[in-house]
A = this chain, B = another copy of it.
Amino acid sequence: MKTKNKVITIDGIDKKILRALMADARTPILEIARNVGISGAAIHQRLRKLEKAKLITGSKFIIDPKVLGYTTMAFMGLYLDNSVNNETIFRELKKIPEVVECHYTTGQWNIFIKVLCYNNEHVMHLLNNKIQTIVGVLRTETLISLDKQIDRQIKI
């Protein structure tokens, strides 16, 4: 069990700062300062506060996997053998670079993952040679994402 995270409240200025940086992590602090009408140093303090509260967990360049040839996104539901420890499965899944998300879920499957592949053949290979060979994985179901229409963070 993880320790409980405190829920924090943020004001309008924090929201403006976050919205700017969530849209573009390299937005100059001074530019934000000019837009919200306070000094750069004040923005700094607020950012430190937000980082300390762990609301900001980092910043990332976002790349488009399609440009590297990863044109096929798929979701897979995994049925597991009751006798196997989830942690073992997670450890194996983390080793597979194509697996970009992994959830322990309610419902028909035990584990639900998102994968990125070059094409359907790659999906097949991944299933046969990587996923299905993990000890404890009994059966899988695959959904192909034909079109990703929304992909965003929670609205601030």
Contact = CB atoms under 8 A, between A and B. Distances in A.
A6 interface: yes
A152 B100 contact: yes
Given A148-B102, A154-B68, A61 B63 contact: no
Contact of A25 (B25, B103, B112, B116): B25
A33 interface: no
Scoring A62, A116, A142 by chain B CB atoms within 10 A of each residue's CB, the highest score goes to A62
A100 B63 contact: no
Given A105-B145, A149-B104, A56 B63 contact: yes
Interface stretch (A36-44, A90-98, A130-138): A90-98
B154 A97 contact: yes
B154 A70 contact: yes
Interface of A: 5-8, 10, 18, 21-26, 53-70, 73, 75, 90, 93-94, 97-107, 109, 112-113, 116, 141-156
Given A59-B59, A60-B62, A97-B155, 11 more contacts: A8-B67, A24-B59, A25-B26, A26-B26, A56-B63, A58-B62, A63-B154, A63-B156, A97-B154, A98-B154, A102-B148
